[in-house]
Structure 1
Amino acid sequence: MFKFFKRVSTVVGSELNAMLDKAEDPVKMLDQYIRDMESDIREVESAVSKHVANEKMLKRKRDDAQAKVKKRQDQAEQAIEADDEDLAKRALEDKAEHQNQAELLQESWEQANKDSNSLREKLDEMKKEYQQMKLKKDSLQARAETAKTKTKMNRTMSAIGSDESKKGFERMEEKVLQYEAEADTSEDFSQESRTLDDEFDKLNNHRDVDDELAELKKKIGKE
C-alpha cells in the first residue's frame, strides 16, 4: 500500500512533457492518481481502526487477567487467615493460570501496540504526502493548461505565418489594388466625359449669346 504512494509520487514528479509525449492527459491522470491515493488512505484508515480495536481488546483482556491474579491473591490470603489451606491452594492455582494468561496477553498487547503505532506513523506520512501531491497536482495541472494554451497559440500563429497564408494575403492585396485601379480609371473616364460635355455646353451657350447679341444690334440699327 505504502509502496503505491512512492510510485505515484515518482509519476507525479516526472516531467510534464514526458506525460504529454505518451498521449496522456495530465489533468485527468493527476485527478485519477489523487483519487487512488484517497482510496488507499481510506483502506489504511480502516485497517488501522481494526488493529487499534484489536489492541484495545487485548489490553482489556490483559487487565482482566491481572485483576483476577490480584483477586485470587487476596482470596488466598483470606483463606489462610481462615485456616482453610485447601481453599487457599485452589485460589493460588487459579491465580497461576490467570498469571500465565496475563503474561501471554501482555506480550500480544505489546506487539499489537507496536504495530498500531507503526501503522499510525505510516498513515500520517501517507496523509502528509497526499497533501503534498494535491498541491503539486494543482501546480502541474495549471502548467499543463498553460502548455496546451501555448501550443494552440503557437500552432495558430504558425498557420498565420505560413507560406500559404502569405500567398493568400498577397493575392487579396493584388485584388484590392486591381479594384482601386479600376475605380481610378472609371473616375478618369467619367471626368473626361464630363469635360467634353462641358465644352459643348459652353459652345452652345456662346452661340446663344452671339445670336441674341446680333438680334439686339439689328433691333437698334447698329448693324
Structure 2
Amino acid sequence: MGILTRFKDIMSSNINALLDKAEDPEKMIDQCLRNLNSDLGNVKAETASIMAEEQRSKRALDECTAEIQKMENYAVKALEAGNEDDARKFLERKVNLTTKETELQEAYNLASSNSARMREMHDKLVADIGELDARKAMIKGKMSVAKTQERINKIGSSVNSANNSILAFDRMEEKANRVLDEANAMAELNQGPKDDIKDLTKKYDSNNTDVDDELAKLKEKLNK
C-alpha cells in the first residue's frame, strides 16, 4: 500500500496556498497541472488494482458463505436420512469454513477500506485538476495585468524623474534671467545721467550739404 503513503499529502494539499507562495504563479500552475495529471495516471492504475482486489475478496467471501450454507443444508439432509455420521462430517466442514469466513471478512473489510481511500484520492485529484484548469486563464490574465501595471509604474518613475529635470532647468533659466537683469541694471547705472540737450543739439548739427548738392545736380540734369 505504498501508493497510499505516497499520495497522502494530496488529500491535505491546498492549491491556493501553493499559488500564494509561488514566485511565478503562471509557471507554478502549469507545473501543478503537469504533476497532478501525472499523479492522476498513477492513482487511476492503483485504484483500479485495489478495486479489483476488493472485488476478488468479496467474491471469495461470498463463495465461502455459500459453501457454509451448503454444508448446513447437506447436514440437514443427512439427519433426515438417518445418517448422523454424515451430518457430523458436513457440520465439521461448516465449522472450518466459518473460521475461514472470518478471515475472508477481515480481508474484504481491509480491501474495501483501501478501495474507498483510493477512490477518494482519485476524486480529489480530478477535482483539483478541474479547479486549476478553470482558474488557469484567470490567473494568467491577472499576472499579465500585474506585469503591465509594473511597467506603467516604472514609466511613471521615469516621467517623475524627467519632471524633476525640467523643474531644475526652469530654476536655472530663472537664475540666468535674474543674473542678466542685474547685469543690464548695472550697465545702465554705469552710463551715468542722460544729457537731453546734447542729444537735441545733434539734431540741428546734422550736415545736409552733400545731399543738397546732389539734389541740385539732379535737377540740372533733368532740365537739360
Q: What residue identity is the alignment partner of 2:9?
A: K
Shift of 1:31: 0.3
Offset from partner CA, 1:72-122 (integer Å, 9 cap, x none) = 112222222333333222222112111211122122212322332233234
Cα pair 1:9 1:133 within 8 Å, conserved: no
- Say if 1:41 and 1:126, in contact at 8 Å, map to a contact too: yes
Question: What runs of 5+ residues in structure 2 fail to find an aligned partner?
Answer: 1-6, 170-223
1:6 to 6, 10, 13: 13
SS at match of 2:13: helix
User: How has the CA–CA distance of structure 1 residues 150 and 116 changed in structure 2, closer, same or farther, with 3 Å as cutoff?
Assistant: same
- 1:172-223 deviation line (CA, Å, top 9, x unaligned): xxxxxxxxxxxxxxxxxxxxxxxxxxxxxxxxxxxxxxxxxxxxxxxxxxx9
Q: Which residue of 1 aligns with 2:129?
A: 130
String of CA shifts for 1:118-150, please: whole Å, max 9, x gaps.
332343233323322333333221111122233
Residue in structure 2 matched with residue 63 of structure 1 by the alignment:
62
Aligned pair count reads 165
Query: What's the RMSD between the two structures over aligned residues?
Result: 3.3
Alignment partners' CA distance in 1, 2:32 and 2:109? 36
Distance across 1 between alignment mates of 2:36 and 2:87: 60
Residues in 1 aligned to 2:137 and 2:47: alpha-carbon distance in whole angstroms: 29
Deviation, 1:68, is 0.8
Whole-Å separation in 2 of the counterparts to 1:145 and 1:52 = 45
**TM-score normalised by the chain length of structure 1:** 0.60
Displacement of 1:161: 6.5
Looking at structure 1, the residues matched to 14 and 38 of structure 2 have their Cα atoms a distance apart, in angstroms, of 15
Q: Aligned equivalents of 2:76 and 2:18: distance in 1?
A: 69
Unaligned stretches of 5+ residues in structure 1: 171-222
Match of 1:107 in 2: 106
After TM superposition, give the deviation of residue 29 of structure 1 in Å: 2.2
Q: Aligned residues: percent identity? A: 27
- Determine whether 1:120 maps to 2:119: yes
Equivalent residue for 2:81?
82
Please give the residue correspondences for 1:35-46 in structure 2 after superposition, counting only pairs within 5 Å: 35-46=34-45
